[in-house]
Amino acid sequence: MLERDEDILQAAEEWKKAGRGVALATVVETWGSAPRPAGSNLVINDEGTFLGSVSGGCVEGAVVTEALDIIASGQPKLLEFGVADETAFEVGLSCGGTIRVFVEKVA
């Protein structure tokens, strides 16, 4: 995982220049427990390669899957992921929370 946003966005630019389809996922809102703060980014190319982080675990996998569809369709999407306190520990969170992630194709 790259720590600096500049590195993530530079990778997206390089992928675009190389002719790859690219999507940008951004955490836009969080409530309760959230591994990454609002403004965190993940870039994904049309081969499924990704850099950065919007959450981790199963959420990140779901964002990558959605991003591949968004690259193909060009239609942005707002995704919401949440987990109740009772089941949070089972998915690797210390307590329950919700995050919203906006995913868009990079033009």
pTM: 0.84
Expressed as residue numbers, the domain containing 14 is: 5-26+39-80+101-105
Identify the H or E element spanning 62: helix 57-73
Q: Say how far apart CA 96 and CA 88 lie, in whole Å.
A: 5
Q: Is residue 93 part of a domain?
A: no
Number of structural domains in the chain? 1
Q: Is residue 20 part of a domain?
A: yes
Q: Is residue 18 part of a domain?
A: yes
Q: Is residue 95 part of a domain?
A: no
Nearest-5° angle of CA 37, CA 42, CA 46? 160
Q: Is residue 31 part of a domain?
A: no
Q: Is residue 14 part of a domain?
A: yes
Residue pLDDT, tens place only, 24-82: 999 999 988 778 899 999 999 999 999 999 987 788 999 999 999 999 999 999 999 88
Q: Which tokens go with 73? A: 């369709």
Q: Is residue 96 part of a domain?
A: no
